[in-house]
Structure 1
Amino acid sequence: MTELLTLDDAAAEAVTLTSELIQIDTTNTGDPDTVVGERVAAEYVARKLTEAGYEISYIESGAVDRHNVITRLSGADPSRPALLVHGHLDVVPADPTEWSLHPFSGAIRDGYVWGRGAVDMKDMLGMMLALARYYKLNGIVPPRDVIFAFVADEEAGGSYGAQWLVDHHPELFEGATEAIGEVGGFSVTFGDNVRAYLIETAEKGIRWMKLRVRGTAGHGSMVHHDNAVTKLADAVARLGNHRFPLVLTDSVREFLGGVSELTGWEFPEDDLDGAVAKLGTISRMIGATLRDTANPTMLEAGYKANVIPSVAEASVDCRILPGRMAAFNAELDEILGPDVEREWMELPPVETTFDGALVDAMTAAVLAEDPEAHTLPYMLSGGTDAKAFAKLGIRSFGFSPLRLPPDLDFSALFHGVDERVPVEAIHFGTRVLDRFLRSC
């Protein structure tokens, strides 16, 4: 068994664990027939935890090979509420022909760990697992109980992961009132070396929607005025080209105000899209939190070139701001009309405030490792397992700390080609998380 005598040892192991977890293919297509499953990765995590002395809960969540691992490290004060630290084992698909290095190589090259999941989110899993082992092996006791959860199926909404666990095994999270997870705590450099670490306090709601249009089947050589494909194409074009109204939520206002204080930049509401563009590569993520979005992603119709099908379908990825659900539905009714059928899977937005002892502990941990840093709250344009844990009343933050090179287009790496994470960023994140977990 690996000895973890110092925090530097744990940081080095976090890099190794990240690489080895990437090498385990946990592709989640969302289709039960093509999902690889998380079992092998869960077994790997379970083995690493048990050899360090943990008792674990190893749970198959409603389908074959959809496994989760949860363990609890007792804290010094059992009367205090527990902290949940969670991460997902699954990753989105990757086409090896598009990558510089194989997406499941886990290669460590040019100062980076490469592969699918490097930032989403096997780097955080590596840090979580390394610190959990470091604490247990060295008898380190945090101030309160820490629950480490390694879960399945986040990339398809958590039906076989966090959502399933919350619905069927809420006792695993007993006493937890706060949580940290993915897509937060990473650094962004504004202007002349103003470095801010963005901590996620809110995220948009998810609606994965299926549109369906019916028409009259027939021969492709004849004149048809009731063509399902044509009607669907018109509806998809209307929706895809629609621009939802600008809405400034409290979380976005606080973020933009914080950037203004740090940089002097202004964000006038009459040209907010243009002003946000000056944020650089992070502007894609921030810009998507200014309004609802509905992006068509898949089309399906027909089975032969000379046959007009009776049904045509489209998939649309909708992301909805807090408080906007009723208005969003009204706009959909107007855009799509009564002839387009809709069905969907939906997860609500979540939002909390950027205050309290936990936020103070996150900020202090970052500043201890980067004295020139600033921390800012922000809204994530996507979604995480925080949506599931919110059903238990758990207040969640995105805090997976990484100090990143100023020129790295971090947001493009999520679900992108050549996903990778700097080795030094994992070292930094391990040290920050250690400070945080020992002080929160």
Structure 2
Amino acid sequence: MNKTLTAIAMLLTASAAQAEDTITIEFAYPYSHLFDVTYEKILPKFKEQHPNIDVKMRATYESYEDGTNTILREAVAGTLPDVTMQGLNRQAILVEKGIAKPLEPFILKEEDFAKDGYHDAMLALGTFNDDIYGLPFSVSLPVGYYNMDVMAKAGITSMDQLPKTWDEVVEVCGKLHEAGVRNPMFWGWNITGNWFLQALMWSQDKATMEGNAIQISSAEGLKSFETMKNLFRGCDMQNIEWKAALASFSAGEIGMMFWSTSALGAVERAKGEFELKTNEFPGLEASGPKGLPAGGNAAMLVSTSEDPKVLNAAWKWLKFITSGEGAADVARTTGYMPPNKAANEVILADFYKQNPNKETAVRQLPLLRDWQAYPGDNGLAITQVIYDGIEGIVTGEYEDMGELQQELSEEVEDLLPSGS
């Protein structure tokens, strides 16, 4: 697919542009299955406005962690792209290591930057030490996906009957099992950055990190682990990767799937002939979650070029994809919400009314909380430690959640910066 995207960009180069005037920049982004279709929409529009800039697509990152690891390796090898898409929670490490370049010099040259939809709340997501290093491209929140044809087997035929708490989800799983549904639910524990653990923590209005101190040893942490165990056991959930879950849900085999709204476009394109509904993420109480972590990614300039023309071309691409039509195509092709104000309020004024499944995340915006990264050089290692622990709950390796909580807390604390 990346070859197709690059081909589109190359073929759309205006005939009037001379080869010697053409500037090529390199771009890398995550999740091919989500964003390939987005960039297929964006590239022709960009080429129409900038015929002398070619965008060469690199191999896509498998995940945000893979994207960060790749950039860290490429920084050492001297093979960085010009622009990279990084998870909102992975920007800080590239700033701390001096890999990401500040965007202020480019922004100051823009006459109508604010009018292009870059409001303060959006810019804050990519601001570090009072400098802007990333322009957010997409924002997501966790939601529930429901195959209403399967849900009818549990007696659920309308939106107001959908489960509002995780205990209710387990009850529905029991009814679906009785109706012969072998795998009634998939819950996205394995989504990038321990996102669903943070969702359970924020649901209780508790941050996973406070400064350099991990909070999973708290009462809220134990409740989060116990909730996961109850879901996995009560729904007899299979230990499958996201792509396998998507295929199973699309084939009509899973009744409930809890995942990021970002995948909605992919789900809609892949699903079979059944009625699909999305709804708010269930909570630990009937009143719903008290907060939810904001997922998504931001565009960062990491070019090592010293050529002003290359840097300017990279900036033009970075700005185009995060503003106006570029940002609006995020909503049109995925389930992400563009954080750009102009895209949401002007270009997409009627879009959400016409696409109610994509409006679910918008209704949850008041719950928006930080998607936290683990501080220090071992942040990615901590992510893996917690991932392995949660997988142990899924597989049945861990049954005592208090014991697991203590084990994970001790392992994570050993990896955090000293003085935490």
- TM-score when scaled to structure 2? 0.29
- TM-score when scaled to structure 1? 0.28
Structure that is richer in helix per residue? 2
Structure that is richer in strand per residue? 1
